[in-house]
Structure formats: C-alpha cells, structure tokens
Amino acid sequence: MSNRTLAAVVLAGSFAVSAPIALAQTHAAPIAAPQQPIAAEKNPPGDIPDNQAFVAYTSPLGFSIKVPEGWARRESAGAVSFSDKYNALQVVISARPAAPTLASLKAVEIAALERSPKAVRIAGIKPVTLPAGPAFVAHYGVNSDPNPVTDKAIRLDAATYYVWKAGRLATLTVSAPAGADNADQWLLMARSFTWR
C-alpha cells in the first residue's frame, strides 16, 4: 500500500465517524474551499468535569480504552467514536506494516491534516511514551463541523495519538472546544489505551 493510499485510509477512518472534526474528503465529493480559523469561544462549553466517571470499553477491533460514561458511541468498520456535544474521542485502527517515524508522520498524516479545509493549525508533534508503548502525539486547532441543530461551528483544540504495534496503527483523536481544560482527561484516555 502506498503512503498516499495509506494516508487516505487513515484520514477517512480517522474523521468520518460522526466526530466534530470530520476532515476527510471522499473521491466523489468536491473539495471544499479552505476555511479560516473560527475565533475561540470566550467561555468554552467543553470542560469535562473533574468528577467525570470513566468506563472501560473493549472493542472487537482489538483494543480497550476508558471512555467518559454517558457519551454517545458510534461504531463503523475500523473505527469507533464517542461524543458529547462538541467533545469527542475517536479511535481508528488501520494496517501499517512498519512503525511510523516522526518524519513519516509529518510527511503523510500531518501533511494530510494540514491540507484539510477545516483550517487545521498544527501546534506541534512529539514522541510520547504510553503504557501501550512508544507513540507520537500531534496537537492542533481545527474548526468543527456545524452543529446539526444550531448550524453553529466552533474552534476546537485537538490531539491525535499514533500508537503502533505488530502491523497495526491506532489513531486516537480527542477534541474539545478551544480553551477547554481537558488535558488531564485526555491523558487519562490515551494512557488507558491497551492492545488486546
């Protein structure tokens, strides 16, 4: 599988599952015009409460992760997403014969993110160590999809973790309204990810 094909598979899986950061374009759909970043909310509505309960979710895709209790779940081929208002967690599993490197992620996945029409602005990408093994995390800002009820889009902060093992790549993306204080909860979810 070529790097371009793999990038299309990863992005299509990563952002097409009803998450507010749907960035992928299908071959049949016209490419949307690039957007400008939306101004961040003054009082972002997306803080996950400090007393939020988390429950274990075991996926038939071969992993488990702790997710916020009560968030809506949606499953599709190769992916699962959880959401509550503008907060979202998504895990996509794809085939990857070799472990990604910082250079390969920048050349394929990060470059594809930057080409999306959702005004993605990469803040940084770095290696991290999770209980599931060595990984990389990219932090960025992105515009949400419009809310289906209010038709309002907002600016999101997002982090995508790339975790590889034995020919499989987990792409774990968390997002929330820009300025929301969810760093501890995001880290809890990322650190709870385990291969099965």
Residue 90 β-bridge partners = 81, 173
In a domain? residue 173 = yes
**pTM, rounded to two decimals:** 0.80
Residue-range definition of the domain harbouring residue 64? 3-23+51-195
Residues 24-80: tens digit of each pLDDT: 333 344 456 788 787 765 555 677 888 899 999 999 999 999 999 999 999 999 999
In a domain? residue 131 = yes
Rg (CA), the chain: 16
Residue 9: pLDDT band with limits 50, 70, 90: very low
In a domain? residue 55 = yes
Q: Which two tokens stand for residue 147?
A: 């809310």
Q: How many domains does the chain have?
A: 1
Residues 173-194: tens digit of each pLDDT: 999 999 998 999 999 999 999 9
Give the domain CATH number at 134.
Answer: 3.40.1000.10
Per-residue confidence (pLDDT) for residue 148, from 0 to 100: 82
Residue 191 phi, psi (nearest 5): -75, -20
In a domain? residue 130 = yes
